[in-house]
Structure formats: C-alpha cells, structure tokens
Structure 1
Amino acid sequence: MLEQLISYAIVVTVLAMVPGADMMIIMKNTLALNRFAGRITLGGIMAGHLFWLVISVVGLAVIIAGSPLLFNAIKYAGALYLIYVGVQSMRAGVLVPRQSLEHFDTLSAPVSRKSLNQSFRQGLVANLLNPKVLILYMTIIPQFVGGDVETGLGYSQQIILLALILVAISIIWFLMVVELVNLLKRWMKSYVLQNWFSKGAGLIIILFGLRTLFFG
C-alpha cells in the first residue's frame, strides 16, 4: 500500500507540475493583481477538485465520461471559457496597476473584492470545465485503488484519500508558483514589461483553449 501511494504521489506531482490552463490563470492573476489574488484563484481550483471528488465518489464521473454528449459539452464549454479569459486579458488596457508596484512585499495591495471574486471564479470554472480533470478522476486515480482486504479501506475511502493527496500536492506546487511569479514581478521593474508579460499569459491561455477545442 505504501509503495502504491508513493508511486501515485510521484505521478500526480508530475501531472501537477506540467504547465496547463490552471497554472497560467494563477500566474496571470498573481502578476496582474497580487499574491493574494493568486491564492484566491488557487482556492477556486481546489473547490473544483472537491466537486470532482464528490462526483467520483457517487459514480457520476464515469457516467459523464461515458457520455460523448456530456463530455464534449464540458470540453467545448471549457475551451471557450479559456479563450474568453485569455481574450479579456489581452484586451485589458492595464493589466498590472501602477499602484500595485508599490506593494510587492505585501498581501494587502489595493485589489477590489470584485477582482478577487473574479479570480476565484476563474479558477473554479476553468477547473470544472477541464475535461482532463474529469479524465484524471476517472482513469488515473482508479488505477491506484487496491482491494478492500489489501488496503483495509473501501473503494470510496481510497478515492477520497487519493484525491486529497492530489489536492495537497497541487496546493503546495501552485503556492510555489504564486511565490515565484511574485518574485518575478519584483525583478521586472519595467511597468511596460510586466504588462506585456501579462498579455503573454493571456495569449497562452487562449492557446490552451484552442488546443482543448480542436485536439481535446
């Protein structure tokens, strides 16, 4: 059981570290707003993971994945949402407010509640509409579920344990991403450079959306 958990932890760590839409949205909001907004975005993503955990435990994940109509609806909705978020970022006239440059070392930079709510919503919706997260809960996690006698845990209990390990690893990794991006902001003193970097993040989010739309 221990060896199986170690193998699983390695697999999900690699999957968490592979750049994806979740990471780019966290980076965009951290850069455009502040560290706290990045953490709020992460909170939205984790709320999405908890939703998929519940869906998996009650068996709905298999039903969704087995229905081409439902699966494709999630995939296309997710792709269009990523494109929308990316386009909004690209079109924003100012992505890194000048006043935020004075608050690099704090979590209390002047960010409105509306922006924080939007950050949480972006993380949540991007995760809920990500077909790869559904596939993760339907195929990857069940592969590491052992027998009840071998593990001493029932199927649902093992799914919950494995999902919580995934969530914990994801939180640690994405918090590191937030801090790295915040350090990058401090290094990039140029206001113009920071805005172009933010717009670049928006472009990458669009590309992730297009990839999901056309290549699944």
Structure 2
Amino acid sequence: MLEQLISYVIVVTVLAMVPGADMMIIMKNTLALSRSAGRVTLAGIIAGHLFWLVISVVGLAVIIAGSPLLFNAIKYAGALYLIYIGVQSMRAGVLVPRQSLEHIDTLSAPVSRKSLQQSFRQGFVANLLNPKVLILYMTIIPQFVAGSAETALGYNQQIVLLALILIGISIIWFLLVVELVNLLKRWMKSYVFQNWLSKGAGLIIILFGLRTIFFG
C-alpha cells in the first residue's frame, strides 16, 4: 500500500507540474492583476476539482464518461472557453495595467472584487470543462485504489484520500507558480515586452483549446 501511495504521489506531482491551461490562466491573472488574483484563480480550480471528486464518488463520472454526447459537450465547451480567454488576453495588449505598475515595488496592486470574482470563475469553469480532469478521476486515480486485503479503507474513502492528495500537491505547486510569476512583475515595465507576452500567453491558451478540440 505504501509503495503504491508513493508511486501515486510521484505520478500526480508530475501531472500537476506539466504546463497546461490551468497554469496559464493562473499566470495570466497573476500578471494582469495581482498575487491575490492568482490565488483566487487557484481557488476556482480547486473548487472544480472538488466538484469532480463529488461526481466521482457518487458515480456520475462513470455515466458522463460512458456517454459520448455528454463527454463531448464538456470537451467542446471547455475548449471554446479556453479560446475565449486566450482571445481576451491577446486583445488586452498588456498584462500589467499602468495603474498596477505603480505598485510593482511592493508587489501588491489593488484589485476590485469584480476582478477577483472573474478570476475565480475563470479557474472554476476552465477546470470544470476540462475533459482531462474527468479522465484523471476516471482512469488514473482508480488505478491506485488498493484491494480490500491491503487496506481497511473502502473504495470511495480511498478515492477521496487520493483526490485530496492530488489537490494538496496542486495547491503547493500553483502557489509557488503564483509567487514566482508575481516576482516577474519587477521586469514588466516594458510595454513592448508586455504586449508580446500578453499575445503569447493568449496564443498558448488558444492552442490548448484547439488541441482539446482536435486531439481530445
């Protein structure tokens, strides 16, 4: 059981660290708004994970995965949402607004409640409509569920434990990403650099959306 748990931790740590749409949205919101916005985006992503955990425990994930119509609806809706966010980033032109640059030396810019709510919503919806998260809860996590002879925990109890480990690792990693990206703001005073970075971030998010459409 212990060896299986260690293997699981290694696998999900690698999966959490692989750049994906969640990471790009966190980076974009941290740069465009503040460290707080990055953390709130992460909170939205974790809320999405908790939703899929509940769905997995009650067995609805099996129904969704077994229904091509529902699965594809989630996949394409998520892809279109990522493309929308990417287009918005490319149109913004800059990632750090002029008023935020005034607070760069303290690394804390005032952010409106509306912006924080939008950051949470982006993280939550992007995670909720990510078919790879569904696949994660349907295929990868169940592979590490031990048999009844190896542990006293039931199937759903193990699913919850493994999911919470995944969520904990994701929180640690993405908080580190937020802090590192926030430090980059010290080098963000060039609007030419910002313009290219904003378009680059938007393009990457759009590519993640297109990859989801054409390659699943």
Equivalent residue of 1:158, what SS? Answer: helix
User: How many Å separate the matches in 1 of 2:68 and 2:31?
Assistant: 37
Q: Which residue type is aligned with residue 187 of structure 2? A: W
Provide, for residues 111-165 of structure 1, a one-character-per-residue CA deviation record: whole Å limited to 9, x for no partner: 1111111100000000000000000000000000011231110000000000000
Q: Which residue does the alignment assign to 2:211?
A: 211
Query: Aligned letter for 2:213?
Result: L
Letter in 2 for 1:150: E
- Matching residue of 1:67: 67
Structure 1 partner of 2:187: 187
Which residue in the other structure is 2:129 paired with? 129
Query: Are residues 1:27 and 2:17 paired?
Result: no
Secondary structure of the structure 2 residue equivalent to 1:149: coil
Following TM superposition, by how much is the alpha carbon of 1:106 offset from its aligned partner in structure 2, in angstroms?
A: 4.7
Structure 1's 92 and 187: CA in aligned 2 closer, same or farther, altered over 3 A? closer
CA contact (8 A) 2:93 2:198 kept: no
In the alignment, the residues of structure 2 paired with residue 199 and residue 212 of structure 1 have an alpha-carbon distance, to the nearest angstrom, of 20
What residue in structure 2 maps to residue 109 of structure 1?
A: 109
Residue of structure 2 equivalent to 1:197: 197
TM-score of the two chains, using structure 1 as the length reference = 0.96
Contact 1:185–1:194, Cα closer than 8 Å, also in 2 = no
Map of 1:40 onto structure 2: 40
In structure 1, the residue matched to 2:4 is: 4
1:16 aligns to 2:16 (yes or no): yes
Out of 87-96 and 60-69, give the one that drifted further. 87-96
In the alignment, the residues of structure 2 paired with residue 106 and residue 164 of structure 1 have an alpha-carbon distance, to the nearest angstrom, of: 34
How far apart are the structure 2 equivalents of 1:187 and 1:85?
A: 24
Question: Residue 161 of structure 1 aligns with which residue?
Answer: 161
Q: Which residue of 2 is the match for residue 152 of structure 1?
A: 152
> Structure 2: how far apart are the matches of 1:94 and 1:174?
23
Check 1:94–1:6 CA distance in 2 against 1; reply closer, same or farther (3 A cut): same
Q: Measure how far apart 1:107 and its partner are.
A: 6.5
The residue type equivalent to 1:48 in the other structure is G
Return closer, same or farther for 1:105/1:138 CA change in 2, 3 Å cut-off.
Answer: farther
Q: Relative to 1, partners in 2 of residues 1:75 and 1:87: Cα closer, same or farther, differing over 3 Å?
A: same
Partner of 1:86: 86
Q: Does residue 175 of the first structure (1) align with residue 175 of the second (2)?
A: yes
Following TM superposition, where does structure 1 have runs of at least 4 consecutive aligned residues deviating by more than 6 angstroms? Answer: none
SS of structure 2 residue aligned to 1:145: coil
Distance in 1 between residues matched to 2:108 and 2:185, nearest whole Å = 16
The 8 Å contact of residues 94 and 194 in structure 2, kept in 1 or not, is answered as: no
Query: Would the aligned equivalents of 2:44 and 2:121 in 1 still touch at CA under 8 Å?
Result: yes
- SS across alignment from 1:150: coil
Secondary structure of 1:179 counterpart: helix
CA RMSD of aligned residues (A): 1.3
Q: Is the 8 A contact 1:104 1:182 kept in 2?
A: no
2:81 counterpart letter in structure 1: Y
Q: Give the SS at the match of 1:204.
A: helix
- After TM superposition, the score normalised by the length of structure 2 is 0.96
